Structure 1
Amino acid sequence: MVQHLFNMNLKWSEGRNGTGTIVADNLHTKISIPREMNGPGVGTNPDEMLLGAAATCYLITLAALLENAKVDLLDLSMQAEGYVDVTNGVFTYERIVHKPKIVVQNLTEREQKRINRLAEKAEQTCMISKALKGNVQIACDVQIIQG
């Protein structure tokens, strides 16, 4: 068995509306509660970081699947949305929507179906998506364009 260890050091000052920092090998930023949740809005926050983890994992997985399938890819970009519900003062991360935009050289109906299957497979096989399964709904709204 191979196991990878990731470390992060965190520091926090004051109470709920304080600020802090996170430091990892390739990440160093300020953190706080976002303005939308009545916080100071300094740096990033757990909601953005969860969305970022899910989105980057999905995008990297999708890129690998497209490469392995030898899709004639011209461009790959993505927008991601995270939806947090607030009911009776309880915050619940409900849903993430990945919106990849895939530009390919030759787009036939068969190729479009194949790319859609790969986009779905990326969501099912991404490590972060699997970790969130059963807690956060993840959907994909794929846009495939001929370049």
Structure 2
Amino acid sequence: MAEHLFHLKANWPGLRNDVGSIETLNLKTKVSIPVEMDGPGIGTNPDEMLLGAAATCYIITLAAMLERSGIEKTSLTMESVGVVDYTNGVVTYKKIIHKPVLVLHEDTSEDKKRIAERLIMKAEDSCMISRALKGNVEVTVEAIIQ
């Protein structure tokens, strides 16, 4: 597979507590420092975008793995939490917790349920964004399978 380049244009017209913007092929939004870190809280911020990248990569990877394994689902939803420590002016992105809820068809075999459980954990190791974060940000999964 050849390299693929993603492009982002950023504009930051002011100082720390001003509002900038970013634009990619499919995303255009304002950005600023969140209120929790004494910023204006307008638009999104790097912390939310990192969480969004990790969460979407994980859930897409999991869906693809379930599909390849022939496991049909009724639904797949998820909440993800980013844990950021802001102590003495030092910001550290400590942890991301994915909380997927996978609802399988009622007639799903026990064997396929076990495979789904394994895939829920394996998807985290297979996700490109999680691999990029490895060694810097802990990423965990707390799944519910119904």
For the aligned pair, the TM-score class normalised by the smaller chain equals over 0.9
TM score, norm. by length of structure 1: 0.94
> Identity of counterpart residues, as a percentage?
53
Per-residue CA deviations over 1:44-73 (Å, capped at 9, x if unaligned) read: 000000000000000000000000011121
| Alignment partners' CA distance in 1, 2:60 and 2:71 | 15
Task: Compare the two structures and name the one with the higher strand fraction.
Answer: 1
> How big is the shift at 1:87?
2.2
> How big is the shift at 1:113?
2.5
Per-residue CA deviations over 1:62-121 (Å, capped at 9, x if unaligned) read: 000000011121111111100001222110000000111101113554433221110111
* Alignment pair present for 1:60 and 2:60: yes
Q: CA RMSD in A?
A: 1.1
Match of 1:122 in 2: 123
SS at match of 1:71: coil
Total equivalences in the alignment: 145
Q: Runs of 5+ in structure 2 lacking a partner?
A: none
Match of 1:4 in 2: 4
> How big is the shift at 1:140?
0.3
| Alignment partners' CA distance in 2, 1:97 and 1:64 | 20
Q: Runs of 5+ in structure 1 lacking a partner?
A: none
* Alignment pair present for 1:13 and 2:13: yes
Match of 1:112 in 2: 113
TM score, norm. by length of structure 2: 0.95
* Alignment pair present for 1:136 and 2:137: yes
